[in-house]
């Protein structure tokens, strides 16, 4: 058995064909494919608008920046997440305020959230950790009452449904990631989804140097306006923006991926079912999330065991890749200063979690092999 990877993007003919078409047009930068991908993606998620950017990190940065919050205000974020969730407030001169997570599913703990809230909090970023939805039905009305900007960090989920509503439609602004390991990929990329037109226009401008028109819009004006119109090139710099836009090459790949997203999620759910049945009777290895294999869009298959480091070494010998998602942010050098101590669940659970190989075309043979290895390890601990 060769080494089994943790993640593997599923890219092929459809992506190559789309990229070829972009090559044949020789328009590889900010162009029609970006606009098309934005339209199709917002329709798929169910928001009025979408802005394509070059990473999920850029999406989170701009989502917060678009609100112009006064410096040093606080943004509530969960402890266990990818670092970009807490970096986004810092990029904007704001401070992350860490909230404990639930042991049952690693998403933000609503009771701790209410405790951690203070009047200087301006926003809340909920993370659908590993693809598992945060408790949005409780969080959303509470955040509204507190007048907090509610952001969904949906980087680890795409196409999932929670309580009958698409993930990405529960908040004011939702941010997605298309980096190479995610549910769909453009190599690197991201998307900001929302319904507010004014904010959408600002986000679009912020994603491309703060201009009020993107290059493709200006190109179209050249051809569409009346003959004597000579100002198609004109733009106004309205904001201090960034070079965060997506380009036509990556957008064309995103369009191919989006056309296959339901298949990807179906395959992921099938693999999860196999894993869950396989480990059902184990004593020392349990799933981290209460997986919903019907409506879910999961990025991680994670298990918990009090023998985590031993298990990692055992699986390494069997050539099975593993990782830990994630070391809690307040335990990192940069974020220690923002720790406000009472993070009990985080400290208890993180030492037990480990992620196993999980991607849509993981073969049955490999899944069975992994399950058998887990069984062997569990058995060795039971005697
Ligand atoms: C929860 C979360 N937020 C944000 C990001 C950042 O996305 P990107 O890598 O596309 O910048 C990621 C993934 O990498 C993530 O897992």
Reply yes or no on whether the pLDDT at 48 is more than 80: yes
Q: What percent of the chain has pLDDT over 90?
A: 93
Through-space distance between the first and last CA atoms of the chain, rounded to whole angstroms:
28
**Domains of the chain (ranges, CATH numbers):** 13-259 (3.40.640.10), 261-382 (3.90.1150.10)
Mean confidence (pLDDT) of the chain? 96
Region 266-274: what's the mean pLDDT? 98
Q: How far is the CA of 79 from the centre of ligand 1 (A)?
A: 15
Nearest atom in ligand 1 to the alpha carbon of residue 129 is: 1
Residue of 80, 84, 156 to mutate, ligand 1, most atoms within 8 A of C-beta: 84
What b/e readout covers 182-212, taking b as 16+ CB neighbours within 10 angstroms?
bbbbbebbbbbbbeeeebbebbbbbbbbbbe
Q: 54 in ligand 1 pocket by Cβ < 6 Å?
A: no
- The rounded distance, in Å, linking the Cα atoms of 1 and 321 is 13
Ligand 1 center to 155 CA (angstroms): 5
pLDDT at 226 over 70: no
Q: What is the pLDDT of residue 295?
A: 97
**pLDDT of 230 strictly over 90:** no
CA distances from 358 to 52, 87, 154 (A): 26, 27, 18
The DSSP line for 110-132 is: HHHHHHH--TTEEEEEEE-GGGP
Ligand 1 atom at minimum distance from 325 CA: 16
- Taking each continuous run of H as one helix and of E as one strand, the counts in the chain are 13, 12
Q: With 90 as the cut, is the pLDDT of residue 130 above it?
A: yes
Pocket test for ligand 1, best of 126, 155, 176 (most atoms within 8 A of CB): 155
pLDDT at 376 over 90: yes
How many angstroms does the Cα of residue 91 sit away from the middle of ligand 1? 15
223: pLDDT confidence band, cut at 50, 70 and 90? confident
Gap between the Cα atoms of 236 and 323, Å rounded: 47
Nearest CA to ligand 1 atom 8: 56
Query: Cα separation of 127 and 79, whole Å?
Result: 10
- Compute, in angstroms, the gap from residue 1 CA to the centroid of ligand 1: 31
356-362: average pLDDT: 98
Is residue 298 pLDDT above 70, yes or no?
Answer: yes
Q: How confident is the model at residue 222 (pLDDT cuts 50, 70, 90)?
A: confident
Q: Give CA angle at 239 (233, 245), nearest 5°.
A: 70
Each residue's pLDDT tens digit, 338-352: 976 778 999 999 999
Separation of CA 22 and ligand 1 centre (Å): 27
């Amino acid at each position: 058995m060769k080494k089994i990877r943790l993640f593997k993007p599923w890219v092929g003919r459809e992506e190559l064909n789309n990229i070829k078409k972009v090559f044949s047009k020789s328009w590889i930068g900010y162009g029609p494919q970006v606009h098309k991908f934005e339209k199709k993606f917002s329709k798929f998620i169910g928001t009025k608008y979408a802005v394509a950017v070059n990473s999920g990190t850029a999406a989170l940065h701009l989502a917060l920046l678009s609100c112009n919050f006064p410096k040093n205000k606080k943004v509530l974020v969960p402890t266990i997440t990818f670092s970009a969730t807490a970096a986004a407030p810092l990029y904007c001169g704001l401070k992350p305020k860490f909230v404990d997570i639930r042991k049952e599913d690693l998403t933000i703990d609503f009771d701790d959230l209410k405790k951690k809230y203070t009047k200087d909090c301006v926003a809340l970023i909920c993370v659908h950790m590993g693809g598992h939805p945060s408790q949005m039905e409780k969080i959303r009305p509470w955040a509204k009452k507190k007048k907090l900007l509610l952001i969904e960090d949906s980087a680890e989920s795409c196409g999932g449904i929670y309580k009958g509503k698409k993930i990405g439609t529960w908040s004011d602004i939702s941010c997605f990631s298309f980096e190479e390991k995610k549910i769909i990929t453009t190599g690197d990329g991201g998307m900001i989804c929302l319904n507010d037109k004014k904010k959408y226009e600002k986000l679009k401008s912020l994603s491309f140097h703060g201009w009020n028109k993107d290059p493709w819009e200006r190109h179209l004006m050249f051809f569409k306006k009346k003959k004597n119109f000579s100002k198609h090139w004109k733009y106004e710099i309205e904001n201090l923006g960034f070079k965060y836009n997506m380009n036509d090459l990556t957008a064309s790949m995103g369009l191919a991926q989006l056309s296959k997203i339901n298949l990807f999620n179906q395959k992921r759910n099938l693999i999860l079912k196999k894993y869950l049945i396989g480990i059902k009777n184990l004593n020392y290895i349990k799933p981290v999330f209460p997986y919903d294999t019907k409506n879910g869009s999961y990025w991680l298959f994670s298990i918990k065991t009090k023998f985590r480091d031993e298990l990692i070494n055992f699986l390494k010998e069997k050539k099975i890749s593993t990782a830990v998602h994630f070391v809690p942010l307040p335990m990192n050098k940069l974020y220690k200063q923002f720790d406000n101590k009472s993070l009990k669940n985080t400290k208890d659970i993180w030492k037990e979690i480990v992620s196993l190989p999980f991607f849509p075309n993981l073969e049955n043979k490999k899944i069975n092999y992994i399950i058998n290895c887990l069984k062997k390890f569990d058995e060795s601990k039971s005697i």
